Structure 1
């Protein structure tokens, strides 16, 4: 192990002091809770379990909103679809600008306090939507909600790192699996609202989302405060933006993150419009992906114990994405049952790549950021992932659906190229930063 890699691990040690006891101590003994801890189904007692509960409730609210908000705006409020799309897109782009400055505040004031304020503001902004009856006010409320969401995301990065110590990547992988379950619960509840299709039902959905955010803030209040890590005297204010290797890493990870749109956007349209597979298989493919993420995300994070290992895993993910896109492309001219089998294999292989990429991305976002600027770096990293959500659907629509089979192969080749480049960027980052980024560095 090289010196820079060892220093990255040592930087994480101070964050461990907020989590009392070790997993063995807290999960020991008998009882159902101890058995669930040993199985990895719930975190150890203390901050990890409280933060997991807050994250779960938060994601239920987001699941409600994502599945039913557009219908609320169009069918209940009466705003045209085009205006709703513009408002949501503008809010998403404006929300990205909050990440770095709010992350900087979280580094200086403490991530728990900033996270709690951001979630409360988000709750108030969402609740205000029930009073919206015009396009301009929709834009204002959605921009405020997205700014708060981006701020909460930036603060959640250092909070997750501190709570999850000494293995933040494994803990964040657990939270991702939990988020998939919560989002599914929220989507199911939204489905009931959509079926009722009444003003009262839609208002209940929006207010339920706001209540979920308030409950999340209340749970976050039960967590111990995370003290800021002192920064070296010569550190500039916008350190993350000056870190060229990390900026490049953010851009590459943003490109790779377009893969998250493959199964939820491009594949359903490909199955229905370009293959002989039955329409019902769209739902099956999404269910398979969700089930695999819930069951295997934590396991996929094992062995990713440093930056170098994470870089290698991203390269492996690129290979998996190329194979998956080739399988999906092959379903284009295949008979019905063959198309089902080939697409199913493609979904499984793609999900394996997704698990690898996600776990490695978690590790790199923590490991290549100095301990005193985790919030600021988390905000920068979130910009890359946010942009991938914005450009992913139109890019996949043009390349995969517009070009057909060659387009799927082109996207797979792009993912492979990013995977091959990532280890070199990781090595560049390790070479160009000091042996230890904390204030106690010799």
Structure 2
């Protein structure tokens, strides 16, 4: 195991604490709001930036096609290229965060994201579109890599629970942004779409302003040097084969996050008798479950071993949920509707488990002095899954139909079953490395 609760406390000691304990509000005692301080501030920054992202992602395709004048094919190609380009930023940005401090790195990246996003209103050609959207993706990947050690440094003794809370906040904010984007789509003018893009750019600046209120966290390399350990090399994370395998398995499981967004709408509309309004209803059901239950789902995930076990459960849930959804093909309207709703609920339960396991492993298997690098690799794996998801889900779920849904569910089961063995390998490698480091010369 790379880190333990002792090192968790050491990291938490970098966060200033109030001299006394103020009286907590009902929202705090019920877990709906963190205590006043850095954790609440980071939650506010997350909410602000994700509202902007939800606003933009919902209306981005229409902005580029109806306002800029690009074709659907050009938009899809350009965004695919940008997603792949963005993968290059993860590990380097994480290393910068380790070396210069996650707060300062994340703050700078938020400002870069604001500029890159605002530049989209100047796009008039396909070439310029690819260039600018690639810059936004590079900044987005870099931001995800820097946010990992920042969250870890502020989270305290239970980083998985806090990160689960941030995910619930992000889902709520994304839903709010999507509702706001619906108004823009109804207006359907150049001015409305430009306002949408600039609002997202403004959200990054507001997020940066909130981040300035966070305490400085010493660069992780400095903390590690103080403890007497040697810092990771320039590309140390890529030499950690067990962690790379864990990241690969987690990336396979991460494909599940696109099933309800990409495959399900096409399945409902083109392959079932279910009503089309079910597409929006399923999105609402998924969001509500995540917002209400994500933190609760993380309670049993307290170390790497428990995270591995939960990953197994998530794979089984994905198979059961996707099997239920596949049944909707060729059955009456009422039965198709029921099976899809059941499938979405079961799939979302698997999503809660996978997310909790992924959060714990991304922190627990990473050495304390290289949280940024390891967070960057995790973000790169998730980004790769996002890039490949349209092609993979299109092939399995739409082209192959019912057998494809079951086959993809089976792949999730296999990835989940393999996770505990990969985690055990990673912990054994970590123990061996620690013994070599402490052995007398």
| TMscore range, shorter length | over 0.9
Task: Report deviation, 1:290.
Answer: 0.8
- Are 1:58 and 2:52 an aligned pair? no
Residue pair 1:11, 1:436 contacting (<8 A) in 2 also: no
Give 1:434's match in structure 2, choosing from 411, 431, 435. Answer: 431
- Superposed, 1:42-441 pairs within 5 Å as 42-229=33-220, 230-231=224-225, 232-233=229-230, 235-434=232-431
Choose 383-392 or 9-18, whichever is displaced more.
Answer: 9-18
Q: Is the 8 A contact 2:28 2:34 kept in 1?
A: yes
Q: Which residue of 2 aligns with 1:17?
A: 13
1:29 Cα deviation (Å)?
2.2
Q: Structure 2: which 5+ runs fail to align?
A: none
Give the 3-state SS of the residue equivalent to 2:431 in structure 1.
coil
Q: Is the 8 A contact 2:141 2:380 kept in 1?
A: no
Greater shift, 385-394 or 239-248, is seen at: 385-394
- Sort the Cα spacing of 1:79 and 1:168 in 2 relative to 1 into closer, same or farther, 3 A: same
Query: Which residue number corresponds to residue 4 of structure 2?
Result: 8
Which has the larger displacement, 206-215 or 391-400? 391-400
The whole-number CA distance in structure 2 between the counterparts of 1:225 and 1:176 is 23
Give the Cα separation in 2 of the matches to 1:86 and 1:393. 12
In the TM superposition, residue 81 of structure 1 has moved relative to its aligned partner by: 2.3
Aligned-pair CA distance for 1:436:
8.4
* TM-score (structure 1 length as normaliser): 0.94
Task: Render the CA deviation track for 1:111-142: whole Å, top value 9, x for unaligned.
Answer: 00000000100101111111221222212211
State the distance in 2 between where 1:145 and 1:184 align: 21
For 1:329 and 1:75, the matched residues in 2 are separated by 34
TM-score by length of structure 2 reads 0.94
Asked if 1 retains the 8 angstrom alpha-carbon contact of 2:101 and 2:216, the reply is yes
TM-superposed CA distance for 1:325, in Å, is 1.4
State the Cα distance separating 1:20 from its structure 2 match: 3.9
Bigger Cα displacement from structure 2, 154-163 vs 225-234:
225-234
1:18 deviation in Å?
3.4
CA distance in 1, matches of 2:434, 2:343: 42
In 2, Cα distance between the equivalents of 1:107 and 1:436?
A: 20
Aligned length: 432
Q: Secondary structure at the match of 2:57?
A: helix
| 8 Å CA contact retained: 1:8, 1:368 | no
- Of 300-309 and 134-143, deviating more is 134-143
1:29 equivalenced with 2:23 (yes/no)? yes
Tell me the alpha carbon deviations over residues 177-215 of structure 1, each in whole angstroms, 9 at most, x when there is no partner: 110111111111111111111111111111111110000
Distance of aligned partners of 1:412 and 1:94 in 2 relative to their CA distance in 1, 3 Å threshold: same
Q: Is the 2:106–2:146 contact (alpha carbons within 8 Å) kept by the matching residues of 1?
A: yes
Structure 1: give runs of 5+ residues left out of the alignment: none
CA distance in 2, matches of 1:260, 1:236: 32
Contact (CA 8 Å) 1:315, 1:416: kept in 2 or not?
Answer: yes
Q: Distance in 2 between matches of 1:436 and 1:161?
A: 23
1:38 equivalent to 2:29? Answer yes
Take 1:437 and 1:122, find their aligned partners in 2: how far apart are those partners?
39
Aligned-residue CA RMSD (Å):
1.9
Instruction: Report the alpha carbon displacement of residue 278 of structure 1 after superposing the two structures with TM.
Output: 1.3
Give the superposition deviation at 1:236: 2.3
**Higher mean C-alpha deviation, range 360-369 or range 227-236:** 227-236
Tell me the SS of whatever aligns to 1:101: helix
